[in-house]
Amino acid sequence: MGQHSAIWQGTSPSSQNRINLTNQSDGSGQFDKAAILSPDFSGVEAASKDFNIPQQEVTALASAFSDSNHALQNGFVIGGDKFLAIRADDRSLYGKKGKEGVVVVRAASCVIVAHHPETIQTTNAATVVENLVDYINHPR
């Protein structure tokens, strides 16, 4: 993997780091799957069980951040599912597939990918991830 935040390394006894995500693990109950990508989009550093994001999709996310118009026109794929982009800029990418959605936000040391189920509104989920990234970038 390229330059990455070593804080995520070694957090799991298995060879692939996993995020143990339950309804209360992020404190919000907003997400059913999540992943942490390296800040240079060179790979997945950690992910929830069964939330597989292949390198091709990680690379495409990097392109979505650099060309937001393309993302807004064509959507993007995460975990094999295509999402309609409802927000795309150099920091944040929000997508919807029916009522479920995904929020991808760049921090200085990583990229957070969080998937929410149909029962959660994307705006509420986005607030949680955006606040987390603000904290990562500027800890209090």
pLDDT in tens, 10-68: 333 344 455 554 443 445 678 999 999 999 999 999 999 889 999 999 999 999 999 99
DSSP states of 94-129: EEEETTEEEEEEE-SS-EEEEEE-TTS-HHHHHHHH
CB under 8 Å to 52, separation ≥6 — which residues?
79, 80
The angle subtended at Cα 53 by Cα 49 and Cα 55, nearest 5°, is: 140
Which residues face 18 on adjacent strands? 47
**Cα–Cα distance, 76 to 72 (Å, whole number):** 9
Mean pLDDT (whole number) for 70-92 = 97
Hey, what domains does the chain have and what are their CATH numbers?
Answer: 30-137 (3.30.450.30)
- Compute the residue count for the chain: 140
| Residue 18 neighbours by CB distance under 10 Å | 16
Identify the DSSP state of 47. E
Q: What is the pLDDT of residue 104?
A: 98
Report the chain's mean pLDDT, rounded to a whole number. 85
